[in-house]
Amino acid sequence: MNAANPGGIPLQRIAAIFEAERESYVALHPRSLALAGHGIAGFYQGVPMHWMRDWSMPYPFLVESARGAVLRDVDGNEYADFCLGDTGSMFGHSPAPVVEAIARQAGQGLTYMLPTRDALEVGRLLAERFGLPHWQVATTATDANRFALRVARAVTSRPKILAFNGCYHGTVDETFVRLVDGCAVNRPGLLGQVADLTQFARVVEFNDLPALQAALAHGDVACVITEPVMTNSCMVLPEPGFHAELRRLTRAAGTLLLIDETHTISTGPGGYTRAHGLEPDLFVLGKPVAGGVPASVWGFTDEVACRLDEVRSQTPPGHSGMGTTLSANALSLAAMRATLEHVMTPEAYAHMEVLASRLAAGLRDVVEHYELPWHVVRVGARVEFICAPGPLRNGTEAEAAHAPALEHAIHLALLNRGCLIAPFHNMMLVSPATSREQVDTLCQAFESVAASLALDLTDWK
């Protein structure tokens, strides 16, 4: 496999399929083109947020509505939505309990920098569900991670954060580092970065315990921040025993452990942490925790709380550098309570687990039938196909496994067949609202695309 043959498919074949699918897309979306052209006036690059240009579409279609696991555009096209806002709507679009909570709170005020009756229940539910006694509410997982890392530095009096190569934790500066030839460097593509991030961060490969132990031996790492499974690239699973050793090594080094479950909450009602008995000092969850309303939470242990109290007692009054005006607003708390009580239920996860297993099996059947050098991986309701052999062990292997041109062609072809998956990688989510018929539709669409890609493949091998 090489640049001329990504994912085992020749570039000329990929280009031909992408062009045919591009023409189909344009034919299916004339109204979106008429209303917005190739960009919406007034917005930089024609979109409200620049990453909306990262889809494989020739131009983004305009969404008319979404409900459950179905998304509709202004051209009248309907899609089985397996992207679900890249986890933000993991439990389906506009779950009824969340809609009701939003409507109720909208008539009582949206934000006022004070707790509500909903806060009484949210605090109890978070502690009960995720096993940590102390919680704070933020607006995004990036905020929550940033605040938690500030606390880690404060209570340990250590300067550095350790992240794993290829990780994803929103836009936290300390995690925008990567390994090149064994050395830590700033990730490419950063805009306006004025500091050398490697001065404040260490980076090692996921699953590399000797490298982790060596990095912690310096005695300057306040916190290791990690997802329990690496996502937002090509998914990398932890090797057997990795998490137990990660916890042992961090404790031995006096380093705190932060588990970011923003994506791996797909595992179950208590996330990967509860399902696999992890013991973090700090815990972060964003995106879906309020049913699609912007909100995040971060929790910590009694020990961290005691150490934080001690630090604060010795700190002069002033701005802590944690929290924003809209953090823990009344609307987000109402939506969060509804989500925790009525949406993120064991019954919902049972449905998601069954259909995600069906989806993963269907995709594997296609890969095996066409003898493609790909693999499929799943964590609970989260499924990915990866256009390279697997399993992958670390971030370097995950980065090398990407085949952008091939992935764009597949994404666009699936879209034209009525199936929407995440644009940045090959991620698919099954929600409580997803039906067996939608899963089967996606598997059939994937088979159709694979058949086109594999046409006369034996002549190319």
Tell me how far apart the alpha carbons of residues 12 and 172 are, in angstroms, rounded to a whole number. Answer: 39
Q: How much is the pLDDT for 460? A: 40
Q: Is the dihedral of CA 43, 44, 50, 56 positive or negative?
A: positive
Tell me how far apart the alpha carbons of residues 127 and 117 are, in angstroms, rounded to a whole number. Answer: 17
- E strand residue ranges, 166-277: 177-180, 183-186, 201-204, 221-226, 256-260
| DSSP-derived secondary structure letter, 10 | -
Q: How much is the pLDDT for 454? A: 84
Q: Looking at the whole model, is its pTM more than 0.85?
A: yes
Q: How much is the pLDDT for 455? A: 74
Taking CB atoms within 8 Å and a gap of at least 24, the contacts of 98-106 are 98/290, 98/291, 98/292, 98/293, 98/335, 98/338, 98/339, 98/343, 100/338, 101/334, 101/335, 101/337, 101/338, 102/293, 102/331, 102/334, 102/335, 104/334, 105/330, 105/331, 105/334, 105/335, 106/331
Q: What is the pLDDT along the chain (461 residues), one digit of tens a residue?
A: 567 788 889 999 999 999 999 999 999 999 999 999 889 999 999 999 999 999 999 999 999 999 999 999 999 999 999 999 999 999 999 999 999 999 999 999 999 999 999 999 999 999 999 999 999 999 999 999 999 999 999 999 999 999 999 999 999 999 999 999 888 898 888 888 888 899 999 999 999 999 999 999 999 999 999 999 999 889 999 999 999 999 999 999 999 999 999 999 999 999 999 999 999 999 999 999 999 999 999 999 999 999 999 999 999 988 888 889 999 999 999 999 999 999 999 999 999 999 999 999 999 999 999 999 999 999 999 999 999 999 999 999 999 999 999 999 999 999 999 999 999 889 999 999 999 999 999 999 999 999 999 875 544 44
Q: How much is the pLDDT for 4? A: 74
Q: How much is the pLDDT for 457? A: 52
